Structure formats: structure tokens, C-alpha cells
Amino acid sequence: MKKKIFITGTDTGIGKTTVSSILLRKASELGYRTAGYKPISSGIKKRKIIFSKTKKKQYVFINQDALILKENSSVLLDYKEVNPISFSGNLPPHMMSLIQKKNIRKKDLSLGLNHIAQKSNWILIEGAGGWYTPLSEIVSFSDWVKEEKLEIIFVVGIKLGCINHAILTEKAILSENLTCLGWIANNIFPKNQYTSYYIQTLLSYIKSPLLGIIPYLKNKNLINIKKIKILVPE
């Protein structure tokens, strides 16, 4: 039985990748063969690679979020397996698709997912932006998630406005008759004296279970997952 979980968020820049990396490592500790998959990314950057034997330099273009998913997967994956579709600009995928004349097709997303599923049994798929992020003028990311019948976890970045966004996100997911495994609260600011009030309010309104609360992480490259309590869907 393969687990395929889609990670969405209440907004962009609220820590989906950080939460995803923690979940991947936690699931790996439970004995799963884990794989991160970011089918579409925006904001790729040029990176220099120096081969140790020949000292020859080579440049590749990568998305940092996709690289983090690759590095936190327990199975060996090539970068292109993790992130098959990428765009250079920091704009929504459907805009970059129009600008760069590169169509985003749901079948390509599914092909990549099926390929990774041959190597792993616990797959975490990270979306882009929020639940209804468009892939074209007529198709959204949520359409593909529904087609694939993926289970969903949504990340709530604790900040002003998150209550409304979280309630709307869950209502949208449930309205599609999809399985929402739960939500994760992520403290994206170093000091927020009202965090407990936000979470308590969200618990009153959101039907799906709270899977965990991520503290503010100053250095996301040095995450001690043993100190982070989070429920991993099995």
C-alpha cells in the first residue's frame, strides 16, 4: 500500500517545504521508503558544480525547495525526478507557462508521480502556493489532486489572516470530497505572543485534526526532528 500525500498551504511562503522535509524524515524513521515530489516549481537558480576528479565546472539550474525534498528523501532520486517542470521567474506557474510558452499538462504530473511510486511507498507531493493555484486558464492544481485521489495535509503559516485562509482552505478541500488528513501549524516568525490564541481559534473552526506545531526555526538547515512532535500519517 503506497501513501501519496499532497501538501498545500494557506498561502505562499508559509513553510510547506520545511514541513515537508520534516515529514519525509519522520516517515523514513518509521521504516518507509520516502520520496519528495515537487512536480512544478518557479524560481530556479543557477548553481555551480565542480567535479572532484576532473576539477571541471558545470552549471545546473535548480529550485531550492525541490533540492530540499530530494535531500530529505530516503530513496535515491535524480533532481529531474523530483522536479520535472520548472520555470525561472518567481510568478505563478500558469503565468510562467504563458510567458515561456511551456504548457503544463496534468498527464505529465501523473507520469512523474507514477515513476517515483516505483521506487518508494511513502510519497509527499508539494504543491505551489495555495489550494487553487492555477496551472492554466482552465485547470488548477486542485483538479489534478482530485484526479489522482491524493490525500491532503495543509500547512497554516501562523500570522495575521491565517484563520480565514485556513478555514477557507479546509472547506475547499472537503467540498471536493477529498480526504484531508489534517493540518500543521508553522510558526514563521521568531516572536508571536498570540500563537496559542491563533491555534485555539483554528481548533474551534477546523474539523481536520491538528498533526503538529512547528516552532520557529532560525536555521532550517539544522533541524533537530527529534525535538519536533508531529503525527506522521501511515
Binding residues for ATP: 13-18, 65, 126-129, 186-187, 215-217
Annotated binding site for substrate: 42
Annotated binding site: 13-18, 42, 65, 126-129, 186-187, 215-217
Strand partners, 49: 58
List the catalytic residue out of 4, 26, 38, 159. Answer: 38
Contact of 193 with 205, CB cutoff 8 Å = no
Strand partners, 153: 7, 182
Annotated binding site for Mg(2+): 17, 65, 126
Contact of 124 with 36, CB cutoff 8 Å = yes
Q: Which residue has the cell 565542480?
A: 50
State yes or no: is 38 an active-site residue: yes
Residue in 33, 27, 1 with CA at minimum distance from that of residue 211: 27
The strand ranges marked E within 144-209 are 151-157, 180-186
Q: What is the largest CA-CA distance in the chain?
A: 60
Residues annotated catalytic, as ranges: 38
